[in-house]
Amino acid sequence: NKVLTLASNERIPLNPSMRLMFEISHLRTATPATVSRAGILFINPNDVGWGPMVATWIDNRESQAERANLSILFDKYVPTCLEAVKTKFKKITPISDISHVMMLLYLLEVLLVPQNVSADCPKELYELYFVFASIWAFGGQLFQDQLVDGRELFTKWFLSEFKSVKFPNQGTVFDYFIEQKQPESDPLATGLKNAGTPAVGKPDKAVLPKFVPWTEKVPAFELEPETPLQAVLVPTSETVRVRAMMDLLMERGRPVLLVGNSGCGKTVLVNSKLEDLDSETFRVTNVPFNFYTT
């Protein structure tokens, strides 16, 4: 009957166009009447797990070689990473195992595209992109303050646990992105420039993309005199990589939620992204929420 009954016995009828959706973490206080009226479907994640979701996603990939490589990589990385983020690290907000794996799938969707991986690419290239996606899917929400840096702890653990993909020695694994373009020194990618002669022969080993610091993508900052100071966004490596993740996910229509302490720039980053959207395609509505009232 779409009537909301409050604890004060006040009854609020809903309009035909209104819907209510409750996202809860448990059913400890739910009565049978609540379960039946709300149409709750409860699935125990411990009984189902993340395996069926991953298996369905892999089956929908077109390339047989890609499906085989991804199956091996999921078995190699996901169980170990899930166990580590539950027992070794502190997260800034509770995240279920399914949510970690879903983020991994979302990132793989935007990384494993024809521009990055071809039908005959080596399996090492799949692992390179899989490692990059796993780092952000399992370590992107770790707690960080003046005493504990979850990203440094995650970096030490990850590099000691998985040694197939090599990272630069400086900084953390979060400080680097995968450079997409082929180096000009690769004769198969560019051909010989002298006299326009095409490359002959094949190299002994395929040239894989390399890790490049996010600092190389930070644009130069110029302060506009007429811009209010509170509206100025100074780009840093942190803002550049967060914005890059937002761009990748939103291009595929995936939702993005930024979580962090007050004043760390979440609203500024989101507003900057929304301002850059095509006004002919998107319509933006801001709904302000406050920590103390919502």
pTM of the predicted structure, to 2 decimals:
0.77
Return the pLDDT at 26: 75
Return the pLDDT at 202: 42
Return the pLDDT at 159: 93
Q: Which residue, 168, 188, 169, 164, is CA-closest to 178?
A: 168
Return the pLDDT at 60: 92
Cα dihedral: 151, 152, 157, 158 (round 10): 60
Give the separation between CA 23 and CA 188, rounded to whole angstroms: 52
Exposure b/e, 59-81, CB count within 10 A at least 16 = b: eebeeeebeebbeebbeebbebb
Q: Profile the chain (294 residues) by mean pLDDT over runs of 10 residues.
A: 82 85 75 74 78 93 90 95 92 89 94 86 91 94 84 93 90 89 43 40 60 90 81 85 91 87 83 88 83 67
Return the pLDDT at 294: 60
